Each structure stands twice: as structure tokens, then as C-alpha cells.
Structure 1
């Protein structure tokens, strides 16, 4: 696959249309917490009214990353798969509206595109997912991109992941960032060991780091070290309201959140915004410390809107918000973090 010039960032992963359904917060739909965590409960067999719904075409980890990088001024493409249907057509059109190159968007005849349903309950969401079994095949970009951002794929994509890993092994000048999706985290390290070893940057949340490494949730330095043992030079672990942690193997840093101007509206895409903005900063030549300052700003903005892309910021607006950041908004060495 030839392009006129190398992309700055090629994002790789499944693309979906999300239908976000806003549930009514009343006695018919409740949340509760037990030893296994928070739960959303609805009475079986009931007819439950809902407040409304909204479709979001071209969603998913990789597409969110592609839009984020494009808005931050990088030449960006998405390698993904859709069916030959109206949903796939809308996905392609939406990516093109965002300025994301769709040269590597593969269209599969007689198949449906991925369509997920997001149950919104306040700022939290529960997602019903189905990944279609596409005949995945890697189309090697020529010239190679400067960065590849690799993320969520279906459980049917094992051979495809091996193809990508093989191509990355042959193109050592391409810098790799890996943000594993839910199914990739559940699959464990072994199917993706070569990807972890090849990655320059790995980003995941704290719970995912525990699942991937088998480490102790309470031992953040240990989780960072265990992720380094898999091979990546730079590891980042996000921790929701407690900020994020990063390590280059020599120094471990903690980064606070950028303050929310209002309570979050919805948290879909916050992690994608953090990971892609961190990588975009590096792709633009910024330092790790600067990338850590950039990433929470976009996460903050995303949770103020419904959907994973509406709040993604252009570079000028991100820089304005950074200029207005409160005192102390900066990464600090992990041992120096105040309890």
C-alpha cells in the first residue's frame, strides 16, 4: 500500500459505531457495589423507558486515537475493517470528515460492521460489544509511518496480530505504542509477547496492569517494573481520579489530573484520549514530562461531552488550557508524591 508521504501516526485496531442509550436514573435501574465491584441492575422482563440515544460513528480505541492525533496536528491514518453496509459507509465518511486517511480501511463484502451499545447511567457506562469475524489481513504501508498506535482487536484476530508483529520486527525504525484493548488484556501476555517486547510505549490502566502482570494492585512501582520486564522502554499506568504513573526504567513519575471544570458527563474515551495524546506529544518531539502534562488535559475535555471524540482538543486549545493550569500541575517523582 503506497502513500504519498509517511504518516506521522498509523492507528491499528477495530472500529465501531456506538449507540449510546441514556438510561433514566430511577428505581427501575439501579447501581450497587459488592466485593466484585460496581454493578448496574435492571429488572428482568421489564419494559424500561430511556431518556434518549445517540449514534457515534467511527468509534473505538484506535479510531479515537486517530482523531485525537489528527486534531493535534499529526498526519494520521487508521488501519481497520468494516462491512459493506450503511454502517461501514458512515464510519468511512466520519473518519474522512475528521481528516483521518482511510486508505487502509478494509471493506468486507457480505459482512456487517461492528456496532456496540453503550448504556449510560449518569457519568458511568456499560458497553454491549460484538466483534465480527473479519478475514483480517495486514496491508503493509509504504512508506512506513513514523509511529504505529496499536490497540483493541477482536478475539478472532490472532493471526492478524502475528502479521503486524512480524512487520514491526522487520521495520525497526517504526516507533510502536501499544494500548491493549479489553480482549487483548484478557488474552494474557503470551499471544502478544512479541508486541510488548517491540513496543516503545505501553499504556494501560491500573486494573489492566494487574491482570497483565499478575502484580499487586497496591504496589504501583512493582506494576511498572513488571511491565518493563515485558520489554517496553516506557510504561504508563492510568489510575482514574488518582492520576497516572509513568516509568522509563530509571525514573518513576506521578502525574495529577487536570482539574474538571464541571462534574464529568460521561467517561467513554477518557483512557483513549490520555494514551493517544501522550503518544502524539512524543510524536511531535516533546519530552515524557511534557507528554504527561498534555494527556490529562484531553481526558478532562473528553469527559465533559458525550462520546469519545467530541471533546478532543486541537493543539491551540490544549496549549491554552496548559497555560491556565493551576500551580503544581506537573509530574513529580513517585517517591516524592504526597500521600
Structure 2
């Protein structure tokens, strides 16, 4: 405001008719003050623009902050992969559905153990399962079988029904389901963290300059890689076991009665066996007689000495009593 007052006084001074002031001097004054006025106005405009630019830089809502200095999150920048939750082979989401491991045991009695085992193996194959192991022991009439089956969990009930239909009687049946959802989700979270850690180590490895730094970072990255493989292996095992139920079947014959006449018996064979026994007895007696005769020089003198000693002792006792 003071500047404008000075200009106003200057204009009044110029308009005053004064003969003592020369015209050239007035013209110079007008020129100088006009130039000062122009510079003043220009400086005021530049200051305003400078203030506006400063305000724009300091304004959080300005494009400078929104575009040039925008901070990006690790996920947006691609530093951390935003991976989805893994799903099992059976198509079960580990966040929404439960992941269970189903085991079942069946003890059955069947007319023929070997035939029942063959039929169970066929049913297992038809359901898309496998026979993990099987054992068959004993004679034909007293056979005992044992089978371990892996069957897709969606067919486990149908498979157990088929096994029951083969049995004369089911002596024992039990099922056990283990919930492994929490363990699987923990492994999934741990796996994602380990993968992020591995990625960071690999980036550090690219920036390492000395051999010592490279060896340290590589050793740490190797440890993380081993943990990643262990977590993946455990997750694959849980996915496989939850997708396929384990059924163990113990198979025994329904009856265990022996025939009244054992197979292979015949009277002629029994007679020949008795004759062979009598012959062995005669051979043993003859062998004993031969041994007695051969060892007679040893036992005959001893026997005579004992006989005389006993007789002398009896004779002496008889004389004493008289």
C-alpha cells in the first residue's frame, strides 16, 4: 500500500505546474518512477507465482504427492507375490472346507478267503483305488488274509459296502477321521513366507560383492530352500492322504472244521507203517545184544567182583549172628 501512495504523490507532483522545475528533469523523474513501478509489479507477480508453486509442493492433495512421490506397497510393486491359497488335488479349498484323513478297519468272515481277496482287489480297482499290500497264509481250509487298500474318499462308503456284502459276518468295524486343515493352512502360510524370504535372499545375492557375502547369502538361501521343499512335501502328503482313504481288511474263514477222515489216510499205509515200526524195534534189540557182547570184557569182571563182595558180606553177617 505504501508503494501506491508514493506513486500517487509522484503523479500529483508531476501535474503541478512549477516553472522552477525544468521539463527534462520532470521527464527523467517520470521515466525512473515508471520503471520502478513496472519492476515492483513484476516482482509481486513472481512472488505470487512462487508462493503458489510452494503451496502446490507442500499440498498433500497435489499431483506431486499423488503421482511423483506415491509410495507403492510391496504387493503392488511386485516385491511380494500375492499368491492365492493352494487347493488340494481333490478340489477342496483349505480356507472354506475341512481337510480330513479317513482310516477304516474291517474284520470279516468269508466262505473262501482267497476268493474274497480276489473280489476285493477287483472292486478296489473299479473304484479307482489300489491295493497297497496283501498277505495270505495258512492251508486251504484254514487260510487267513490281510489287505491294505487306498480308495478315493468319495468312494470309501461304497467300497466298504461291497466288502460287507462279501462277508458272512462282520466281526469288527471301525472308522477314524483326522482333521488336518489347521496343519495344512499353517504349512501354506509358512510356505509363502519362506518363498518371500528366498526371493529376498536371491536379490541380496545379486547385490553381494565379496566372496564372503556371497557364501553367507547362498548358505542362508539354501537353508530356506530346504525348508520350502519340506513344507511342499508335507502338503502334498496331506493332500494325497486326504483325497484317498485307507481301508484295512482282515479276512478269516467262516468255518474251521477239519474233516473226519484226514486227506491221504489209507489202511495199507497204516499197516506198512506198523511193520516198519516192528522192524525198527528188532533192529534196536539186535544192536543192543551186539553192544553187550562186545563190551563183556568190561562189565563181566565188574559183575563177578560185585557178586563175590555181596556174598562174602552176607556170609560174615550170618557167622556173627551165631
TM-score class normalised by the smaller sequence: under 0.3
Q: TM-score with structure 2 length normalisation?
A: 0.16
Larger radius of gyration: 2
* Greater percentage in strand: 1
Structure with the larger RCO, 1 or 2 (CA within 8 Å, 6+ apart): 2
* Greater percentage in helix: 2
Q: TM-score with structure 1 length normalisation?
A: 0.16
